[in-house]
Homo-oligomer: A and B are copies of this chain.
Amino acid sequence: MRYELYYWPSIQGRGEFVRLALEEAGANYIDVARGDNGGRDSVSKWIYGSRQKTPHFAPPVLKAGNIVVSHAANILQFLGPRLKLAPKSEAGRLWVHGLQLTMTDFIKEVHDTHHPIATSLYYEDQKKEAKQYTKEFLKSRAPKYLGYFEEVLKKNGGKHLVGRSLTYVDLSLFQIVTGLRYAFPKAMKKLEKDIPLSVKLRDAVEKRPRIAAYLASPRRIDFNEGGIFRNYPELEE
């Protein structure tokens, strides 16, 4: 099976959670919008406004033969068993998907640190509100979410969030901690003191051979200010 991933070509964004799973599994996939015949149009043809009979609201979209799936968490639950990155039992798959959905909620709040009022407005036009939002985010929300995943890790023995081997939520936690470091380096120095197991897991994921190769390759897009995790130093002051 050759998987086709459709996602915006210039950012990590929500597509990155899918890329990490495909890379870790050594899957045969193509990041279509970044290929020779790609670009943003290749993404647009799947979403609302296109001629598709079943248009998706937004990317990422994954095509696997006749199956087309959208929403990063939905794509991951589809790929999980196929890439051996999810538990086999129904209860296990529902649990790992629920954790990913909690990460989805967390990521949306990270996004809102720079766009609290409207996605349609520039950051510069909602900077004051972004500062207020970020203050509460770093004081309450980030510690709550991070503390939650740390607790799940701890109760599961400390090495993995689910079961005894790597699953896609471990990869997603890597991405979240790494992204938060990029966006809020000062705040994370303090916050990381309370989540030693999560930091250890992050480091272990980074060193996995396929992930290390991916991160060092041009396939990994750098963090930038078009994505979810943005470094606006004024926000954490």
Docked-complex contact A133 and B117, CB < 8 angstroms: yes
Copies in the complex: 2
Which residues of B lie under 8 Å from residue A114 when comparing CB positions? none
Q: Does A74 contact B (CB under 8 A)?
A: yes
Closest B residue by C-beta to A65: B91
CA distance A129 to B116 in the complex (A): 9
Docked-complex contact A136 and B108, CB < 8 angstroms: no
Docked-complex contact A98 and B118, CB < 8 angstroms: no
Docked-complex contact B118 and A97, CB < 8 angstroms: no
Which residues of B lie under 8 Å from residue A98 when comparing CB positions? 56-57, 69-71, 74
A94 and B74 contact, Cβ closer than 8 Å, known pairs A117-B132, A120-B140, A155-B54: yes
Distance in Å from the Cβ of A199 to the closest Cβ of chain B?
19
Which residues of B lie under 8 Å from residue A108 when comparing CB positions? 105, 108
Docked-complex contact A54 and B152, CB < 8 angstroms: yes
Query: What 1/0 flags go to A218-234 for Cβ under 8 Å of B?
Result: 00000000000000000
Query: What 1/0 flags go to A118-147 for Cβ under 8 Å of B?
Result: 111100000001001100110011001101
Docked-complex contact A136 and B148, CB < 8 angstroms: no
20 A-B pairs, CB-CB below 8 angstroms? A54-B95, A54-B152, A54-B155, A54-B156, A56-B98, A57-B102, A57-B145, A68-B91, A73-B101, A74-B98, A74-B101, A78-B94, A116-B129, A116-B133, A118-B132, A118-B136, A118-B140, A120-B136, A120-B140, A129-B129
A53-B156, A74-B97, A117-B129 known; 17 other A-B pairs, CB under 8 Å? A48-B144, A57-B105, A57-B145, A58-B102, A67-B91, A68-B91, A74-B98, A78-B94, A101-B104, A116-B116, A116-B117, A116-B133, A117-B136, A118-B140, A119-B141, A121-B136, A129-B132
